[in-house]
Amino acid sequence: MDLKNVIQYTKELSILYVEDDIKSQELISSILDSLFETVDIANDGELGLKAYNQYYLKNDKYYDLILSDIEMPRLDGIKLSETILQINPDQHIIIISAYNEKEKLQKLLQLGIDNFLHKPIEFNNFFETFKKSARPIREQNKIKKDLENAHNLNYNLETLLDIISQVAIVSKTDLEGNITYVNDIFCQMSKYSEEELIGQNHNIIRHQDVPSSVFQNMWEEIKAGKVWKGKLKSRAKDGEVFYVNANIIPIFNSKERIKEYVAIRFLSTQEELENAEFGKQVSDHYQESKRRDFNSRRIIDELQEKLLKFKDFDFIEFALKKEKTRTSKCSTQLKSTEDNYKQQEIEFEKFKLSIKEKMSLLLEQNQSSNKINEEYIQNIEKLKNEINTKSDEFNRMLDNNKQRAKELGDFKDLVKHLEKD
């Protein structure tokens, strides 16, 4: 069984499921949730009857389907079904039963219930049963809805026509254009009596100046179910001319087929017609002017966008010149730093050389005297400390210079890149 095939009939329906067995309730309710729009659950017959009445009070309609087990405490499925059918004889009920409950099934058949699901439930049969039950319910609901819509439409239409008839020229025709109704204003303007008009074709007031193409277009529109609107020149019984703004409306029956046409007309004048035509020409010229103005604005916006791009180029050029100036200064600083670094290297080499000479001298003195005294040791230690201090200072200076040289090198690369751009 294709589940989608079942859901197309059940998806808009409501169901009350009455079951006291919790395990069965959980399993079946989870399936019902995927089939029905509304699923309510009751744990026994009394609660089911209470839920049934509350649903009606809340929604002004009964559940579309009842699914109930037979064996339940307080109120069994047979008594529940009997009570519900007394309240609503048209209620659709499906009973879950065992095959050995023949006497109970016979009672249910006498109540008019013939949809059963037998335990253990076989799910192909489960879905087929719901499809079989839901299809006529869905069709009945559609018919009720169509009848209700038709009733409301007809009621609203009649009320609206009564109001409009007080101020407008109103008539009805059949599908062939034969008049079936006219109001008093129609008779006054046409100079015909109601008896003279009923049964006549509506072209009885047609003026020969109106092109046949106008009426051809009108019939094409209203036969297609559309409302036709237009200005017409009409002729009264005595030949007097009158002008109307006409609205011709197709009226549908419950099967969505056109059953008649209603024409609502408001008096107009020749001057109004000419003014309307002039107004249309003014409107057309205005729309054309508006369209041209829109195109002009679009072109101006595009030019402004291009101008902004050129402004950006000027800004970039200015920034580049400024950066080149700063780069030149940095290059001068870099050259000065490099010269300073080289000079410090020369001085450090001289310092190392002088220290070596002092140490050699002291060593020679020590070898000649073959005697180590405290002053010599102190001098040696002093010289070592001095060397270490100077060496640390030089290393720090060397690291700083290397970092500075790296930064300046990176900056040079950036400058070259900018100059290429």
Q: Which of 229, 249, 268 is the last residue of a domain?
A: 268
- Give the model's pLDDT for residue 371: 56
Domain of 20, CATH number, reads 3.40.50.2300
- Note whether 387 and 342 are same-domain residues: yes
Burial profile 211-237: b = 16 or more Cβ within 10 angstroms, e = fewer: eeeebeebeebbeeeeebeebbbbbee
**Residue 382 within a domain:** yes
- Note whether 245 and 342 are same-domain residues: no
Radius of gyration of the chain measured on its C-alpha atoms? 52
- Note whether 15 and 105 are same-domain residues: yes
**Residue 389 within a domain:** yes
Query: Quick one: average pLDDT of 340-353?
Result: 72
**Residue 107 within a domain:** yes
| 73 Cβ neighbours under 8 A, 6+ residues apart | 20, 44, 45
pLDDT band at 215 (very low <50, low <70, confident <90, very high): very high
Q: Which of 243, 268, 293 is the last residue of a domain?
A: 268
- Note whether 72 and 207 are same-domain residues: no
- Note whether 55 and 141 are same-domain residues: yes
**Residue 157 within a domain:** no
- Give the model's pLDDT for residue 55: 94
- Give the model's pLDDT for residue 284: 56
Tokens linked to 154: 């007809």
- Note whether 7 and 143 are same-domain residues: yes
For the chain, the domain total comes to 3
**Residue 273 within a domain:** no
* Residue 42 · residue 17 · CB < 8 Å: yes
The answer to whether residue 332 scores a pLDDT higher than 50 is yes
Residue with the bigger pLDDT between 1 and 37: it is 37
- Note whether 365 and 399 are same-domain residues: yes
- Give the model's pLDDT for residue 253: 77
- Note whether 143 and 7 are same-domain residues: yes
Query: Quick one: average pLDDT of 323-342?
Result: 65
Residue 18 belongs to domain spanning:
3-147
- Note whether 355 and 411 are same-domain residues: yes
pLDDT band at 372 (very low <50, low <70, confident <90, very high): low
Query: Quick one: average pLDDT of 182-199?
Result: 92
The answer to whether residue 296 scores a pLDDT higher than 60 is no
Quick: pLDDT tens for 129-183: 888 888 888 877 776 776 566 555 555 666 666 777 777 889 999 999 999 999 9
**Residue 282 within a domain:** no
- Note whether 199 and 136 are same-domain residues: no
Quick: pLDDT tens for 40-97: 999 999 999 999 999 999 998 899 999 999 888 888 888 999 999 999 988 899 988 8
Residue with the bigger pLDDT between 206 and 350: it is 206
The answer to whether residue 324 scores a pLDDT higher than 80 is no
- Note whether 338 and 253 are same-domain residues: no
Domain of 262, CATH number, reads 3.30.450.20
**Residue 292 within a domain:** no
Identify the weakest region by mean pLDDT among 123-127, 162-166, 370-374: 370-374
The helix (H) or strand (E) run that includes residue 169 is: strand 169-173
Which pTM does this prediction carry?
0.40
Q: Which of 147, 182, 208 is the last residue of a domain?
A: 147
Residue 157 has, within 13 A of its CA and on its CB side, a CA count of 18
- Note whether 8 and 138 are same-domain residues: yes
- Give the model's pLDDT for residue 269: 56
**Residue 309 within a domain:** no
| 97 Cβ neighbours under 8 A, 6+ residues apart | 69, 70, 77, 104, 105, 108, 116, 117, 118, 119
